[in-house]
Amino acid sequence: MRMNDPLQPHTHEPNPLPPSPETTFEIQLPHQQPKHISIEMLSQLPQTEVADCYIVSTGHGTSGPFRFGGVTLLDFVKSILSNDKAWQQLEVISGDDFGTRITKKELLEPDSAGPILLAITLDGHPLTREQGAVRLIVPNETDDALRQVKWIGEVRVR
Ligand SMILES: Nc1nc2c(c(=O)[nH]1)N[C@H]1C(S)=C(S)[C@@H](COP(=O)(O)O)O[C@H]1N2
Ligand SMILES: [Mo]
């Protein structure tokens, strides 16, 4: 069992080091075997860029603005799930047990700051593993970066 629930709010010192070199992550669908998703597969889906993104760390200050690129989480879910009634929320969890929960409403009604992304590029260059590949970017979250999940390991569909 995990010592900490990665989905509960918590104060957090950001982990500077990737938990592994492996960028491929798993998607877990109800009643199905997990599927493996690579950067290569993400790069073949429609690409979206979101400019003016900031990573606001309570301990280390703000960095940015960044232009993150990749696949919107909505486009990704649509590419995986044909039946859009089959889910209500997603859990995005990193290899170092850091995570956040995303509701369907957040994806269907994106904030004016921009859509939630599975980011694979930063300012037009491939995101390095150290920079978080594959990283969740939630453009409207500018409090403490607790939703800007680096090193996605699992996406669970609920
Ligand atoms: N996987 C993972 N993602 C994470 C964290 C972490 O520890 N592990 N820390 C978060 C916090 S608290 C901050 S402030 C930012 C730091 O992002 P940066 O390393 O790009 O500055 O990452 C966020 N995403
Ligand atoms: Mo943070």
Q: Which atom of ligand 1 is nearest to the CA of 63?
A: 21
Give yes or no for residue 30 having a pLDDT over 70.
yes
pLDDT at 84: 76
- Mean pLDDT (whole number) for 122-145: 97
- What ligand is nearest to the CA atom of residue 53? 1
Which of 150, 151, 154 has the most ligand 1 atoms within 8 A of CB, as the residue to mutate?
150
Q: Fill in the amino acid letter for 81.
A: L
Which of 12, 147, 151 has the most ligand 1 atoms within 8 A of CB, as the residue to mutate?
12
Give yes or no for residue 51 having a pLDDT over 80.
yes
For residue 31, the CA-to-ligand 1 centroid distance in Å is 31
Q: Using CA positions, which residue lies closest to atom 16 of ligand 1?
A: 14
pLDDT at 53: 98
Evaluate whether 107 touches 116 at the Cβ level (below 8 Å): yes
- What ligand is nearest to the CA atom of residue 128? 1
- What ligand is nearest to the CA atom of residue 147? 1
- Mean pLDDT (whole number) for 23-28: 98
* pLDDT class of 1 with cuts at 50, 70, 90: very low
- Mean pLDDT (whole number) for 92-113: 97
Residue 24 and residue 152: Cα distance in Å, rounded? Answer: 8
Determine if the pTM surpasses 0.85. yes
Q: Using CA positions, which residue lies closest to atom 18 of ligand 1?
A: 55
Hunting for tokens 């990193």 — which residue is that? 94
DSSP H helices in 109-157? none
Give yes or no for residue 150 having a pLDDT over 50.
yes
Long-range contacts of 28-33 (CB under 8 A, 24+ apart): 28/154, 28/155, 28/156, 28/157, 29/80, 29/81, 29/157, 30/86, 30/157, 30/158
- Mean pLDDT (whole number) for 35-61: 96
For residue 16, the CA-to-ligand 1 centroid distance in Å is 7
